[in-house]
Structure 1
Amino acid sequence: MKYSRQRELVLAEVKSSREHPTADMVYAALKADNPSLSLGTVYRNLNLLAQMGQIHKIGMPEGSDRFDGRTDEHYHMLCQKCGRVYDVQLDTLSELDGQIQSQTGFLVHSHDLIVRGVCRACQQ
C-alpha cells in the first residue's frame, strides 16, 4: 500500500489515545496542526487501518464507532453516564471460541463484547 502521511498521523493518534476515540475526536485532535486534513480523510483512513488490522474498530450500537490502538484480544466497558470506553481483560472468556465450536460446530473468527454500566468515577 502506498505511504500516506495523513494515514500515519491518524494511526499515531489512535495508538497514543486511551480514549477509544471516534472519528470526530481524531479529527479534532489533528486538525489544528494539519489544516488541510478533512474529516472524510480521517474516516477513510480509520476504516482502512481497521481493515488492515492495525487498529480495532468498535461498533457502538448507540453511537459513533470508536477506535482502539490495541489489537490484542480484550474487551470493552462503556460508561453509560460519561460515555468513556475502558479496556478490560477477561481471561474467563479465553476459551469461548473453542467452546462454541465444540458445542455447535461454528468456527468463530472474531467476537466483540461491550459491557455497559457506570464507571467508578461516575458512581461517586
Structure 2
Amino acid sequence: MASERLQHAVDSLKSTKVRMTPQRHAILEFLFETMTHPTADEIYKALEGKFPNMSVATVYNNLRVFKEVGIVKELSYGDSSSRFDSVTNSHYHIICNDCGKIVDFHYPALDEVETLAEHVTNFQVQSHRMEIYGTCPECMSKQSIAHD
C-alpha cells in the first residue's frame, strides 16, 4: 500500500517536471513509510546519517514542493512545529496531550457536516478540520506505573 502511494507520488512529481534526487526520494519514502506525522526536523534527523550533507533547509524546501503538488499535507497544531502527513484523503486525527503522537482515523458520517454547514450558514465550504485530544495507551500505561 505505502509503496503504491510512494510510486504514485514519484509519478506526480515527474509529471510536473520535478527532478527526483536521492534526497527527495528518501524524504518521500520516509513520509510514506512512517505513520507518525513527522516534523521537518524529525525527517532531517532520521535521514542525516544517510545524507550527511543534506540540510534542514533541503527538507523544508522539498516538503514545500510536495505540498504544492498535493502529495503531502501540512498539519499545524497550536504553537508546535508543523507536521507532515502523506495521507491526503479526508481523515481526522487524535493527538496525545502527553507525547504528541498523532493517529489517523476516518469517520464517514462527519463528511455530511460540510453540507449541513453550507445549508445553515449559506457559506461556501472548502474544507473542515477536526482534532480530538486525549492520552495514548503508552502514556496511560506510563502514568499507571508511576502511580503504583
TM-score (norm 2): 0.77
- From the superposition, tell whether residues 2 and 13 of structure 1 become closer, same or farther in structure 2 (CA, over 3 Å): same
- 2:99 is the counterpart of 1:56: no
Match for residue 126 of structure 2 among 93, 96, 109 = 109
- From the superposition, tell whether residues 92 and 120 of structure 1 become closer, same or farther in structure 2 (CA, over 3 Å): farther
CA RMSD, Structure 1 to Structure 2 (Å): 1.4
| Cross-structure match for 1:95 | 112
Identity %: 33
| Cross-structure match for 1:4 | 20
Cα distance in 1, alignment partners of residues 128 and 69 from structure 2: 17
Deviations 1:42-61 (A, max 9, x none): 01111221222101111121
Cα distance in 1, alignment partners of residues 27 and 70 from structure 2: 14
Q: Which has the larger radius of gyration?
A: 2
TM-score (norm 1): 0.91
Extract unaligned runs of 5+ from structure 2. 1-16, 142-148
Matched to 2:120, the amino acid is Q
Equivalenced residues, count: 124
Extract unaligned runs of 5+ from structure 1. none
Indicate the SS of the match to 1:50: helix
Higher helix share: 2
Runs of 4+, deviation exceeding 4 Å: none
Cα distance in 2, alignment partners of residues 61 and 48 from structure 1: 23
Cα distance in 2, alignment partners of residues 15 and 107 from structure 1: 32
